[in-house]
Amino acid sequence: MIHQPVEIINGATIVYRHAVLTGEFAIESMFEEAGITVSRQVADRRKSMSMTITRKPGYGLAILIVRGTLMVQRASGHSFRVATPNTLLNFESTEPTEIFASRGIHEHLVITWKEESVSGLTEWLTQQISTEPISLVHGSLGTDAGRAIATIIEAVTKPARATVPTVIGLLSFLIAVAHGTIYRPTLTDFDVDFPAPLEALVAETRSRPSANWALKDAAKFAGYSPFHLSRTFRNLVGYGFPEFVDRCRTESVVEKMGVAPHALIDELAMAAGFGSTQALRDAFRDYLGFLPSEIRGTSESDSK
């Protein structure tokens, strides 16, 4: 069955803007206490889709991305910001905000709270100047923000007496971080204790993703044999070094799209070190679930 559902939860309304097959999207209540509600939204779609999310007056609203990629409409309405897993989105406005969900599997925690129940955070937010409808913070593994996100997920998954103060405190911390830092999406998030040669290689690759990082050249940089580099990197990270390079290049293109939204896809692919535009499209689809044209806000047919 195909339908276009509207989800109404405490403090928020979610309207799916595309026809949705039964079972593609679902939302279930996880926790509700002392004015705080946490719902789990899961999805598995073959194509990307949009939804409009509205925060109700008198409530706060945040979405924590566990799996999947979202695109958030900017205040200008002409471009989007990409939000990757382990990112918290705080809705600053009560105006309807358009969100795009990528292809593939999604898991989000939708957190709402009565503003009167969190008066300190509410008062602090009224004093902040926000130019965007949503503020974002990414919790990189091994950082304070990353630990805060992991603790929130654990607290609402296994509720206990301290769940409410834990969620309120860590939400307040993350929202404050979102207001004080520049958000950058990441596809190379890992908390690994690399040997010194590999740590240097990872840092150099991140700083110069467009360079020639063929396995033999990367191995020479690290002082490893190609076989030893390939095996060691995969054992530590969970995927191979060539994929790490492609992920870094994809990150760089996403960032450039944010400052040059009208740049040609061909030029972006070549500048980032991709061998072809198709290689860039494949990387976007594999690691983000979007096509480059979708992130840039243009139309591109895709029946795959």
Residue 176 sits in the same domain as residue 257: no
The total number of structural domains in the chain stands at 2
HSE-up of residue 155 (Cα within 13 Å, Cβ side): 23
Q: What is the CATH number of the domain that holds 6?
A: 2.60.120.280
Residue with tokens 């795959």: 304
* Whole-number pLDDT of residue 39: 94
* Whole-number pLDDT of residue 16: 82
* Whole-number pLDDT of residue 141: 87
This prediction has a pTM of: 0.89
* Whole-number pLDDT of residue 78: 60
Residue 169 sits in the same domain as residue 202: no
CA distance 304 to 301: 9
- Boundary residue ending a domain (180, 205, 238): 180
CA distance 149 to 154: 9
CA distance 113 to 302: 39
The verdict on residue 188 lying in a domain is no
* Whole-number pLDDT of residue 190: 87
Strands of the sheet containing 25-33, edge to edge, are 25-33, 36-45, 104-114, 59-67, 87-91, 134-138
* Whole-number pLDDT of residue 302: 40
> Strand runs (DSSP E) across the chain, as ranges?
2-3, 6-9, 12-16, 20-21, 25-33, 36-45, 49-55, 59-67, 70-73, 80-83, 87-91, 97-101, 104-114, 134-138
Q: Which of 102, 85, 190, 107 is nearest to 156 (CA)?
A: 107
The mean predicted confidence, pLDDT, of the chain is 89
Could you report the per-residue pLDDT of 97-132, keeping only the tens digit for each? 989 999 999 999 999 999 998 989 999 998 888 788
Element (H, E) at 296: helix 292-296
Full domain range(s) for residue 221 = 196-296
Q: Which residues of the chain fall below pLDDT 70?
A: 1-5, 18-23, 75-79, 297-304
- Boundary residue ending a domain (118, 152, 180): 180
Residue 122 sits in the same domain as residue 87: yes
254 contacts: CB under 8 Å, gap ≥ 6 = 82, 185, 288, 295
Q: Where are the alpha helices (DSSP H) in 160-276?
A: 163-180, 196-207, 215-222, 226-237, 241-259, 265-272
